Amino acid sequence: MEADWRADRARLRELYQENNHRGIRDFATTLKRSVGWVVKWLKRFRADPDADDSVLDRQRSQASSCLSQPVMTTILDIRDNPPDNLQRTPGPKAILYYLSKDPNLEGEYLPRAASTVYRVLKEAGRILTRGRLREPLERPDPMTLWELDFTDVGTVVPDPEGKKAHAVETLNVVDAGTSILVGCTSREDFNAETALLEGVELVQRAGLVAAVRIDRDPRFVGCPQQGDFPSAFVRFWLCLGVRVIICDPRRPQDKPFVERLNGTYQREFVEVKRPTTLAETQEGNKQFEQHYNEERPHQGTACNNQPRSRRFPTCPPCRRRPRWWIPMAG
């Protein structure tokens, strides 16, 4: 394959030397290559017309050749010592965000592509392997679809006389269109009734969306013995005109945004703060929600490596509650 590419570069140089007045598109059509490819190699041929055949070799740009030492040192420092409130190891996109905020680099040439930062990290031994890339999912419009899911707070020791597992759980609600954390509620007694009450409180506080997506947790969909009759949680949303999307069994990829949020919640809050009581968890949830929405740069396609509040400063509001809505007592 590399031999074929090199032959095309040699052919392009010959065509350019024979008639350098031809258009770029003519070269691209003749060689069946892209216009960008032709522009790149013609630039190299024009820079050194008398160069030998070594100019035909594929040249990879090196990060160390375009960045100053202070910038490269700062990149590695951000990687090794994450900024305050960022409870994870920053990747290339997050490092780009924090580089632009560093006042000590004013006047320095900063990288514009995450690939440049990646090469610096790779050359310095901070990245050993690269995971498989996945196609991005098409996102719905902002504030039209919420995903709901439970996650365990494993650092809270269960009461010997109470529940043996899942002493404290958190119900996370994330907007699939913006990745905004809509709700983050922890309780010791999540069941079908309390899950419904949290749904009511969520509507009172945040309004309504067009659809919600849930898994087949019995607290959401009920037990098999009830047959095709919807559970109270599902009927609650249907009565409000909200479409309920129930994922197939054993397919967490069908609700990827809340699953991704659960992972972040575990790594950046539970494993870092390690709350031991319900009160500590609830207080930490407030800080986590504020940090997640207001400060943390999100690398998904919706936020473009910016905090959610900055990417969506005028996020469209949810639908209002119906006129017959009766506020929940207490």
What average pLDDT values come out for the chain (330 residues) when binned by 10 residues? 77 80 81 84 75 68 69 94 86 92 89 88 82 69 95 88 78 94 95 95 92 96 77 94 94 93 95 95 96 88 80 76 61
Q: For residue 168, count CB atoms less than 10 angstroms from its CB and return exposed for 0-12, middle for 13-18, buried for 19 or more.
A: buried
Nearest alpha carbon to residue 8 among 34, 296, 23? 34
Orientation of helix 69-80 relative to helix 114-123, angle to 10°: 80
Cα(167)–Cα(21) distance, integer angstroms: 76
145-311: which CATH topology? Answer: Nucleotidyltransferase; domain 5 (3.30.420)
Residues 6+ apart with CB under 8 A from 288: 184, 265, 268, 269
Query: Whole-number mean pLDDT of the chain?
Result: 85
Q: pTM of the entire structure?
A: 0.67
Cα(287)–Cα(269) distance, integer angstroms: 9
What pLDDT score was predicted for residue 160? 73
What pLDDT score was predicted for residue 76? 94
Q: What kind and span of H or E run contains 196?
A: helix 192-206
What are the pLDDT digits (tens) for 60-114? 555 455 788 999 999 999 999 998 778 889 999 999 999 988 999 988 888 888 8
Phi (first) and psi of residue 63, to 5 degrees = -60, -35
Length of the chain: 330
Q: What kind and span of H or E run contains 74?
A: helix 69-80
What pLDDT score was predicted for residue 43? 80
